[in-house]
Structure 1
Amino acid sequence: MSSKLEQLQALVAPVVEALGYQCWGIEFLSQGRHSLLRIYIDHADGVLIDDCEKVSRQVSGVLDVEDPIAAEYTLEVSSPGMDRPLFTLEQFASYVGEQVKIKLRSPFEGRRNFQGLLRGVEEQDVVVQVDDHEFLLPIDLIDKANVIPRFD
């Protein structure tokens, strides 16, 4: 995790949790003068737009005071949704048995994109079965990972 992301996580997570939500994850996409800070919140009863607005107002106030992002940015607060992004080893572990799509920051065994069955977590690696081959993907190499929704 980058130091900027760690700094934002340290500022945002306590605010989200104080409001009674789980801070599922944070994405910070720096795009020159116009960056995007996306915060995913979760709750046992689900997340409604009012929940996102409440968290957005509180987080916005903290960010205005602390000013961790120098340039202009857009703040988005969202539920993780059905194609839930996965950020931590604990989150990966709770979705074992699900289909996932993973994109790496740099190639691993000649490829950056993996889609398959999430088999588990071993130390700092995520185990994904793609066709007949298991890959142990280091968590530090994962740029983006999502659960693939099932419609039974």
Structure 2
Amino acid sequence: MSKVTDIVEELAVPILDDLQLELVDIEYVKEGKNWYLRLFIDKENGVDIEECGIVSERLGEKLDEMDPIPHNYFLEVSSPGAERPLKKAQDFTKAVGKQVNIKTYEPVEGEKEFEGKLTEFNGETLKIDVKIKTRTKTIEIPYNKVAKARLAVVF
């Protein structure tokens, strides 16, 4: 049997395509004694609560029909928020010019965490301008070394 998130993605993508929405991420996690199935969706100018409700209703119907999850869970559909995760190559391409936070699997130039402006992404390497005291340094991070990435909130 496929992972729950894979099955949910198969069910959700046609619904989202129909509504011209993008699937950002899916989480299926246990918190305390409860299971949560979370979908994070977005579009160019952000999603509103009504769109989240429509997706939740349509996906809920499909999940009830197929019944791929053997126990009770809570379905949550929401925007990814200001600190949107960057998962796919296209996410990084869209994030060029924005502030990002990157964590790597192994050190790059002696560090495993970087925050700065993503200035370039060519599919294999990210270039990030990070501030070090009074100067800016460009760090090149191999895409295959990125463990976790998200947009960073700038104040």
Please give the TM-score of this superposition, normalised by the length of structure 2: 0.74
- Within 5 A, what are the aligned runs for 1:118-129? 118-129=118-129
Matched positions, count = 147
Please name the residue that 1:23 is paired with: 22
Measured in 2, the distance between the counterparts of 1:102 and 1:35 equals 28
- Within 5 A, what are the aligned runs for 1:1-150? 4-18=4-18, 20-31=19-30, 34-44=34-44, 46-104=46-104, 106-109=105-108, 111-131=111-131, 132-138=137-143, 141-143=146-148, 145-150=149-154
- Superposed CA RMSD: 2.9
Contact (CA 8 Å) 2:40, 2:77: kept in 1 or not? yes
Measured in 2, the distance between the counterparts of 1:98 and 1:67 equals 40
Residue aligned with 1:31, SS: strand
Going from structure 1 to structure 2, the CA distance change for 1:14 and 1:85 (only over 3 Å counts) comes to: same
Going from structure 1 to structure 2, the CA distance change for 1:141 and 1:43 (only over 3 Å counts) comes to: closer
Residue aligned with 1:72, SS: coil
Residue aligned with 1:82, SS: coil
**Percent identical residues:** 29
Shift of the alpha carbon at 1:125? Answer: 4.1
Contact (CA 8 Å) 2:123, 2:143: kept in 1 or not? no
Q: Which moved more, 1:31-40 or 1:85-94?
A: 31-40
- Which runs of 5 or more residues in structure 1 are unaligned? none
Residue aligned with 2:82, SS: coil
Contact (CA 8 Å) 2:4, 2:28: kept in 1 or not? no
Going from structure 1 to structure 2, the CA distance change for 1:127 and 1:45 (only over 3 Å counts) comes to: closer
Please give the TM-score of this superposition, normalised by the length of structure 1: 0.75
